[in-house]
Each structure stands twice: as structure tokens, then as C-alpha cells.
Chain A
Amino acid sequence: MAHSTGSVTHLERHHAHHFKTAHEEFEACKQGMWIFLVTEVLFFAGMFMAYAVLRVLYPDMMKAAHQLLDWKKGALNTVILITSSLTMALAVSAAQRGEKQKIIRYLWMTLICAGGFMVVKYFEYAHKIHEHILPGALYQYKELTMAKVPLFLSVYFVMTGIHGLHVLIGMGVIYWLIRRASRNEFGPSYFTPVEITGLYWHFVDLVWIYLFPLLYLVS
């Protein structure tokens, strides 16, 4: 329906014509994103439930197992992600004002933070794989042989894995936004993609803010 492809600047951009106004379209997209985030919450909720069940049934195991994680790396990643949320917010407000250079700059900063997060994650995973601190049947770490510890690692790997996947997808989208921004597509009359990507990014950040204390700081 939307005919506009290629380099249409925000001045000539028009909305898909099953909407009456550009504003209506913007509102619809935003609502769509919110609903999507609700599904995301429920997606993670399943894992949080599994976590809660383990926590209630085997509190001591959880306490012992969490020491296998490196809380310092987790904390570092928390700081990195919070920073990226900030730069993302700045990018959105720059987009609303149509300041092309600023949009691009803040988006790059967000992207770099996200990359940093993934690098730290890489080192965490690499260490665990090397030590065979792995989920379920793959667990072969000799220092901690307590029953059910592998289950903690299952939860850890699934949750952080899915979260990492969300970060990677976010990085792809942010890069796409940078390309579009440098083609001058965003401005006060059209910044929907930046806005809703911002929502998504804050959500990914928020999930981590729950994951970090639950997984790294069990007490």
C-alpha cells in the first residue's frame, strides 16, 4: 500500500492511504509495537516461570549454582545496556526534531554499546563452554556436582541466549535506521521507525535489568 520506497525525504513522505492522516498511521504503528511488546513479555514470562519453580523447589541449588556466573561481567553489561537505552532515547528525540547528524551519531553510539554487550557476552559464554559449565546433559564441570545445578544453567543459557538474540536483531534494525537516517528520511513529520525501535530497545534493556539480579545475584 505504501508506494514510497527509495529516497523520499520526510517532506514529501505520505502515509499509506487506508489511514486518514499520517498521525493516525503513527498512532497505529505505535500501538502495534506495544502489543508486540506484550507478546514479548509473555514469551519471557514462560522462562521466568520455570526460573521461579526452580527457585522455590531448590533454593540452595540456585544459590550454589549462581556462583558459576561472573557477576562482574554481568554488572558491566548492565551498565552498557543502560547507557545504550539513554543514547537510544536521545536518538528518538533528535529524530523528532529532525537533526540528522545527531540521529546518526546517537544511533551509532547505541549500536556500539550493543556490540560491546555482545562482546562481553561472548567472553562469558566462551569461558563456560571451555569449562563445560553447560546446560542439562552437557554439564561436566567437576568443581560443583550438586544435583540439579545443570538445570540452573539451562535456564541461564536459554534466557540469556534468547535475550542476546533480541540484542542482535535490535542491532540489525538500528543499522537499518542509520542507513535511512542518512538518506534524510526522518524528521518532525515522520519518525515512526525510530520511535518504535526505541520502544523495542528499552524493552530489551528492561529484560536484562530483570535477568541480571535474578541470575547473577541469587541470595
Chain B
Amino acid sequence: MTKLLLCLITLGNNAFAATLPVAGTDIAKSWDAVYWFLVYLSLVFFVGIVAAMVWFAIRYRKEKNRKPKYIHGHTGLEVIWTVIPTILLFVCFGWGWAVYQDMIHAPANAMEVHVIGKQWSWQFVYKNGTSVTNDLYVPVNRPVKLIMSSEDVLHAFFIPNFRVKSDVVPGMYTSVWFEAKLPGIHQVYCTEYCGTVHSGMLARLIVLTDDQWKDWLSGKKIDVDSLPADPTFPGYRANRLGEGMPEAVAGSTGGQKQLTLADKGKAVVTAKACIACHSVDGSKMVGPSYKGLYGREEKVVANGKTITVKADDNYIRESIENPLAKVVEGYPPSMPPYKGQLSEEEILSVIEYIKSLK
């Protein structure tokens, strides 16, 4: 009898657990803890409310209770059911916020990959210039930070197994990060409505073991089909664009290109004549040198006031597209705006190039 009960409980538990995807990162596990807390908290309130309702409906039916009691309220009770939920909600908020902090602040040593969303495919661009469509290769057990932007409308990048998601917005960088623990394939979805093939804008996140990662970096082909399938749905392969959607434009698993991203950036600043005003060796020309720029605390005049900003991706992007928004102290506001003249990929290659000039 107890055995049966235990069996039922395990069964129930497993069935319950099967309502979430596999937790593929440590943070996903702490996320799950918050989620289950909320589930059980809700169950307590829900069961309590419904049980009281059903019990009253039976016990105080007209047939059972002819004389209703003339009551208007009870201050004590009202205080209790105001205060207790308030406290519990503070707990939900505080715990949720703590986990969120971990979810958004990537460790400093995270490997960076650029993501460009466009109708209706994902492009992943690596520091070494490799560009892959709809398949994102990452090493296991290493923090990875995705820096994302869109070429057209809003998209969103969602990896359920890692509990991470962010909108991908044109004209702005957003990011997610994760440290994958489970090698194999994980499903990626676009979750911001983006038009016709929104539901086909899928990608595969391919988590490689250290050896496989080395192979991939050195340009060897990885036999993706032999890797473990998405652990959330072991019976199913993860999909990328083109499978299952009649309308979808099949995406290609792009080959690896020769130039690194920073090399490309160098070509861009030459072609666009940025180097007419910017040196790369630290010397001062019309504008400040690119050397050592990235990550520096920069004194700029914005709003008529002098403020200090960190020269990060968003700042450099803004400096290129709309230089007058923040003018570096000690320089004239003479740089022309380049808004619309550089493609997404060109802008991020320039940023990457500036990053490389330590």
C-alpha cells in the first residue's frame, strides 16, 4: 500500500516536473526553484479558496441553512488577508529579483557572440569572423554572452532550456548570457512576432564538448546529427528554419569565412575613411584615437553638461550613428552622422576592431 502511494507520488512528481523544459544551466535550476515556489504558493491559495467555496455551497445551501447570519465584516480577518499576501508577495518579488540579477549580469570573461536577427533567420557572428546562419555553436561549461541586434523589425531570442530570452531590437543592442551544462542540441525560438514566418524563425543551439569545440574552431565539420537531441523532448530533434514550414525560406548553415570580424572592421574604417580623422596608434587627429578606446571611462559633453560614460558597444554605436549626442571633451563636434550608412554587420565589425586595439 505505502509502496503504491510512493509510486504514485513519484509518478505525480515526474509528471509535474515534465511540465518544464530540462534545466540546461545552473541558473535555470535556480529559476526552477522560484517557479515551483510560485506554483505551490498558488496551489495553497487556490485550493483554499475553492475548498471554502465548495464547502459553503454545500453546507449553507438554502435547503440546509434557512436563516442566514447578518454579518458585515470582521476587521481582524481583513487585516490578516491583507498583510499575509503582502508579505508573501514581497518574498516572491525579492527572490525573483535575486535570480534575475544572476540572469542578466554576465561574468566578465564571457565569450561574446554577435547575433543578428532578420526576417526570418538568425545570423551568428563570431570574433574570428565566422558567420553561421541558424546554428549557434558554443562550448560547454563556458559563459557565453550574446550581443544582439536586428536588421529590420523586432524579434526575440529564446532558449527555453536555459530560461533566457530577450527582444532583439533594431538600432540597439540587447544581450543574454548562459553557461551551458548539457552538450547536445537545444531548441531556439523567435518569440517576438515578426511577420509571415515568425513561427519558422527557429535555430539550434549546439553545445559542444571541449574537444568538439576545438575541432569546430579549427574549421572541422561537426556531425550535428550524431549529437544528443534536445533533452526536453528526447524523442524529437531540435529544428532550425526550413523544417516543417512549407512557406519558410530554408536557411543555410553558412560556411566559415576567412576574415576575422576585427579584420572586417579594419576594412570598413579604411573604406569609409574614418581613418582620415581617427588614428589607431593613440595619436590625436581630428578625432580621438581608437586605441584603448573600448571600455575606457570617457568624458563627454551631453546635454550641455560634462558627464562620464563607459565606452561600451552601445556608446560606440551611438558615436558612429549620431556623434553629436555625446561629444568627447576637448574635440570639436565635427564628425558627420553615419546613421544608415553602415550595415549592422559593419557596425559591429568596427566595434570589434576598436575592441582589438588595446
Contacts and interface: CB of A to CB of B under 8 A. Distances in A.
Interface string B296-308: 0000001110000
Interface string A143-179: 0001110000000000000000000000000000000
A61 B339 CA distance: 15
A213 interface: no
B322 A59 contact: no
B106 interface: no
A181 to B, nearest CB: 52
Interface string A26-59: 0000000000000000000000000000001111
B325 A60 contact: yes
Contacts of B303: 56, 59-60
A23 B321 CA distance: 62
Interface in B304-321: 304, 321
Contact of A147 (B302, B304, B324): B324
A59 B302 contact: yes
A40 B321 CA distance: 37
A58 B324 CA distance: 8
Interface string B320-358: 011011000000010001010000000000000000000
A146 B324 contact: yes
Which of the listed residues B302, B303, B304, B333 has the most CB atoms from chain A within 10 Å of its own CB?
Answer: B303
Give the size range of B's interface with the partner: 10 to 19
Main secondary structure of the interface of A (DSSP, over half): helix
Given A146-B337, A147-B337, A147-B339, A59 B321 contact: no
Interface string A170-212: 0000000000000000000000000000000000000000000
Nearest to B327: A60
A57 B337 contact: no
B157 to A, nearest CB: 26
Residue among B325, B333, B337, B339 having the largest count of chain A Cβ atoms under 10 Å: B325
A61 B324 contact: yes
A147 B340 CA distance: 11
B332 to A, nearest CB: 13
Contacts of B321: 147
A61 B302 CA distance: 11
Contacts of B337: 146-147
Contacts of B339: 147
A61 B326 CA distance: 11
Nearest to B305: A59
B203 to A, nearest CB: 33
A56 B339 CA distance: 20
A59 B324 contact: no
Nearest to B323: A147
B318 to A, nearest CB: 10
Interface string B73-109: 0000000000000000000000000000000000000
Contacts of B325: 57-58, 60-61
A57 B321 CA distance: 14
A170 B339 CA distance: 42
A66 to B, nearest CB: 14
A173 B253 CA distance: 67
Interface in B256-314: 302-304
A63 B26 CA distance: 50
A202 B311 CA distance: 49
Contacts of B304: 59-60
A60 B325 CA distance: 7
Contacts of B302: 59-60
A147 B318 CA distance: 11
Nearest to B322: A147
Contacts of A58: 322, 325
A112 to B, nearest CB: 42
Interface string A58-85: 1111000000000000000000000000
A59 B303 CA distance: 5
Contacts of A56: 303
A146 B339 CA distance: 11
A60 B303 CA distance: 6
23 contacts: A56-B303, A57-B325, A58-B322, A58-B325, A59-B302, A59-B303, A59-B304, A60-B302, A60-B303, A60-B304, A60-B324, A60-B325, A60-B333, A61-B324, A61-B325, A146-B324, A146-B337, A147-B321, A147-B322, A147-B324, A147-B337, A147-B339, A148-B322
The 4 closest A-B pairs by CB, nearest first: A147-B337, A59-B303, A147-B322, A60-B324
Interface of A: 56-61, 146-148
Interface of B: 302-304, 321-322, 324-325, 333, 337, 339
